[in-house]
Amino acid sequence: MKRRVALGLLYSRSGSYALIGEACRAGALSAIAQINADPESHLIFEPVERDPAGNIDLYAPLCAEILQTTAQHVIGCVTSWSRKEVIPVLEKLGGTLWYSVPYEGFEASDHVVYTHACPNQHLLPLLDWAIPAHGRRAYLTGSNYIWGWEMNRLARDIVQTAGGQILGERYLPIGSTDVSRMIEEIRASRPDFILNSLIGPSSYEFMAAYRALGVQDKAFHPSRCPVLSCNVTEAELPALGDCAEGLIAAGPYFRGQQGWPGGTFGSSHEAATFVAVRELARLLARRPQAKGLADLLSGACDIIDPDTHHTELPVLIARVEQGSFRVLQHRGTLAGDPYLTRPRARTAPQLRVVQ
């Protein structure tokens, strides 16, 4: 007789970041289906799903609804804002969130497992690649909340430590598409590269406007002044279309990459969520009577750091070419270091690209 386990799903299927939410949800449902169909599996996951529809005020109460069933684990949240909204609920009710989206670091909750990348696995390697390749003069964009603030704060430190300059830094409210001032500042300041930490429609509108600028002035062609991103994946390429051409991103997985547990996925969002569910199933099979996350991870986890709850991940740099990401560099595998307390690991790339 297989053990039945309620498993919360908390993703927005509409709103500013719906494409990412749908990609994560697809990864979770795929893993649940595989686990439930596996004759060797000792459990069956029964999804308990709630949809906040992009409304930040609904995350905490809907997370509480899930945890007031028999569910103890929630796979969910896209933005850092939503993650931070549910942490007090998790603490109060004894639940665990499995968070599978890149984030800005500087957090290690006793109630969260982080299965996507943090800055030492995305932003630092991306800038290590970009500064030698393109120069030290940067322009920073971001959505006006913690992801944008923290990513740009770290980027300022890295660029300035490398002897570079920040030529401009501008933020938009989540969902805003008023990118005209950003574009004019970029046109005037002429940076070597742009770090795009916008999300959803703000990012899509910015990329469209920047592509139009590149058509008008070849100084802003992606080969000369590329846009960098730590959060754009294949999940959002349909919304970006041709405007994504030349975009350079960092992540643990790009479509078609070999060696990722579970096979081939549409994006790293989908892959990291799939792995979260599979790893949870493995841990529950090993420690079915575990009380809380620390007990669950104790002596039973291969890929998750029991102290920080971050994951060891590949570090890849890729560029959009003809509608798909092509990997430029594989910089090895790094353990998550959310507080950047370890020595900088500038691992030698396994693949070099001649510019």
Determine the residue type at 244. A
Q: Are strands 112-114 and 137-143 parallel, antiparallel or unpaired?
A: unpaired
Res. 30: pLDDT tops 80: yes
Can you give the CATH number for the domain in which 209 is found? 3.40.50.2300
Looking at per-residue pLDDT, the higher value among 343 and 6 belongs to 6
**pLDDT single digits (tens) 227-283:** 999 999 999 999 999 999 999 999 999 999 888 888 899 999 999 999 999 999 999
272: which 2 tokens? 């990291």
Considering the domain architecture, whether residues 28 and 100 belong to the same structural domain is answered as: yes
Res. 347: pLDDT tops 50: no
Considering the domain architecture, whether residues 207 and 242 belong to the same structural domain is answered as: yes
Please indicate, yes or no, if residue 341 is contained in any of the structural domains: no
Q: For the purposes of burial, counting CB atoms within 10 Å of the CB of 176, is it exposed (0-12), middle (13-18) or buried (19 or more)?
A: middle
Whole-number pLDDT of residue 342: 85
Considering the domain architecture, whether residues 190 and 81 belong to the same structural domain is answered as: no
Please indicate, yes or no, if residue 350 is contained in any of the structural domains: no
Please indicate, yes or no, if residue 351 is contained in any of the structural domains: no
Neighbouring C-beta atoms of residue 52, cutoff 10 Å: 26
Considering the domain architecture, whether residues 85 and 7 belong to the same structural domain is answered as: yes
